[in-house]
Chain A
Amino acid sequence: MVNYAIGVDRLVVDRGGRRVLDDVSFTVTEGEVVGLLGPSGCGKSTLMRALVGVQIVKSGRVELLGRPAGSADLRRRVGYVTQAPSVYADLSVHANLRYFATIVGAPRSDVDRVIDQVDLASHADTLVGRLSGGQVSRVSLATALLGTPELLVLDEPTVGLDPVLRRDLWNLFHRLAATGVTLLVSSHVMDEASRCSRLLLMREGQILADDSPDGLLSDTAAADVEAAFLQLVDAAAARDASTA
């Protein structure tokens, strides 16, 4: 039997009178690295909020690691990085992580481990407010790595990072996946797509495609994921136009 890390069934979310997620269904198997791609405003962040149980949903079922999203015992097992770096600017890197480590019940030694993992050891005692944008988002990412999360939900964790750091972080994601951690990573940078084992392409609150990068390329006969994505989006827009 396959164990699903994420199971979403006919999820509908309305925000401010607008349908943001419209009948979204997909599953993610344990140990997968799944990329969630799509233009900004397509519902990626709302979907991630629904997964970690902070989004009011209209209907549908969301299960993580066999438990309904938002269950109390998931709060130790799922790591979440919001799109805006959610750390305290007026505390040092180390103090931020010490606090979050206490909350998730991670051992003290975890703090130095995650600081090393995001390559910020030389800035451990710097106030987060004095770091660059890319460094701040790495502190935010480090927070999600504390403890032993089985599932990581990462909302654009590599935004504003240089290519070297992006590569290092993706290598880290794959090392984690090799130990059985499941990752759902959103991005609007299409060149990151090739690093995922599977891709979910979103547009206007719906899943447009759910395939491996290779499968997507062969289906669309496109040269790269970006071209494949544009082709799918244009085809969907044409369908919308003809039915309207």
Chain B
Amino acid sequence: MSATHTLATAARVGGQLRNDHRTLALIMLVPSLLMGLLAWMLPADDFDQWGPALLGIFPLLVMFLVTSVATLRERTSGTLERLLTMPLGKGDFVFGYAIAFGTLAVVQSLVVAGLSFGVYGMDTRGPAWAFILIAVVNAVLGTALGLFVSAFASSEFQAVQFMPALLLPQLLLCGLIVPRDELPTVLGWISDVLPLSYAIDAVMELGVSAQTTNAYWGDIVIVSAYGLGLLGLGAATLRRRTP
């Protein structure tokens, strides 16, 4: 791996996104509008509870979809094969993507959080930056999951199907719908190994405490570890030689 190659890959992925104005607009607008809908629909107390969780979930969904389709395009267009015949480390490829989409997630979170706190009147106990940090680690997690599943998909149709398969169970079991300690025992265990559970735990932690607590930082570390671990796994499972 080399920093030059990783950053060049991140800059290249970023350049591709910058040239795709409609995708960029959708990435910024869709969560902003959905958040507005939620603010309009829910009583203020409920919005203060659901809004922050959604702020963390949007980047996970969006980055998962964007990354899985983007890397699949690299595989089908032959650019990945070409890159693997060049002196590019597999980690450069994977972490280049993570940096590019992580940066995009920071911008997305700033836009959505800015609107939510500034315009939609979201009121939370914990500091705004701590919610944005959750959004960013979730984005890296989404990118890592997207990179990982693209290895198991041979078409965009298949890649898109992995979203409900991998992300919906996490959404159902993360504690938003039924508190995690009230889940049936087995589902509680499953919930304990799913990374989104910890992201939502961190959100809930900020709902009751005005400061970032050790529990919050513990959750952030766990979600980041999942993200980085999956990125490492994605790099390790990338094969230069294929059948």
| A interface residues (Cβ-Cβ under 8 A, vs B) | 15-16, 49, 52-56, 70, 72, 75-76, 78, 80, 82-91, 95, 99-100, 102-105, 127, 143
Contact status B243-A54, CB under 8 Å: no
Contact status A103-B81, CB under 8 Å: no
Q: Quick one: CB contact mask for B1-39 with A, threshold 8 Å, 1 for yes? A: 000110011011001100110000000000000000000
* Interfacial chain B residues near A87, Cβ < 8 Å: 79
* Interfacial chain B residues near A88, Cβ < 8 Å: 12, 16, 79
One of B5, B15, B77, B240 near A103 (C-beta < 8 A): B5
Between B4, B20, B81, B82, the greatest number of chain A beta carbons within 10 A of the residue's beta carbon is seen for B82
* Stretch of B85-93, B165-173, B217-225, B228-236 contacting A (4+ beta carbons < 8 Å): B85-93
Contact status A53-B12, CB under 8 Å: no
> Number of contacting residues on B, CB 8 A?
25
Closest residue on chain A to residue B87 by CB atoms = A75
One of A53, A82, A89 near B240 (C-beta < 8 A): A53
Contact status A70-B241, CB under 8 Å: yes
A-B contact pairs, 12 of them (CB 8 A): A53-B85, A54-B240, A83-B78, A84-B78, A86-B79, A88-B12, A91-B12, A95-B12, A95-B15, A102-B4, A102-B8, A104-B86
Between A55, A86, A103, the greatest number of chain B beta carbons within 10 A of the residue's beta carbon is seen for A103
* Interfacial chain B residues near A80, Cβ < 8 Å: 82, 85
**Given A84-B78, A88-B12, residue A103 in contact with residue B243 (CB < 8 A):** no
* Interfacial chain A residues near B5, Cβ < 8 Å: 102-103
- The complex places the Cα of A152 from the Cα of B4 at a distance, in Å, of 25
**Given A75-B86, A86-B78, residue A56 in contact with residue B15 (CB < 8 A):** no
* Interfacial chain A residues near B4, Cβ < 8 Å: 102
| B interface residues (Cβ-Cβ under 8 A, vs A) | 4-5, 8-9, 11-12, 15-16, 19-20, 77-79, 81-88, 240-243
Contact status B16-A91, CB under 8 Å: yes
Please report whether the interface of chain B is mostly helix, strand, loop or mixed according to DSSP.
Answer: helix
* Interfacial chain A residues near B242, Cβ < 8 Å: 54-56
Closest residue on chain A to residue B82 by CB atoms = A86
- The complex places the Cα of A73 from the Cα of B241 at a distance, in Å, of 16
Closest residue on chain A to residue B241 by CB atoms = A56
Closest residue on chain B to residue A87 by CB atoms = B79
One of A70, A76, A82 near B78 (C-beta < 8 A): A82
One of A54, A83, A95, A143 near B241 (C-beta < 8 A): A54
Contact status A54-B8, CB under 8 Å: no
Closest residue on chain B to residue A49 by CB atoms = B81
* Interfacial chain B residues near A75, Cβ < 8 Å: 85-87
Closest residue on chain B to residue A51 by CB atoms = B85
- The complex places the Cα of A104 from the Cα of B31 at a distance, in Å, of 39
* Interfacial chain B residues near A15, Cβ < 8 Å: 243
> Top 3 nearest A-B pairs by Cβ distance?
A86-B78, A102-B8, A82-B78
Contact status B19-A91, CB under 8 Å: yes
One of A78, A86, A104, A127 near B19 (C-beta < 8 A): A127
* Interfacial chain B residues near A72, Cβ < 8 Å: 87
Distance from B18 Cβ to chain A, minimum over Cβ atoms (Å): 9
- The complex places the Cα of A89 from the Cα of B5 at a distance, in Å, of 20
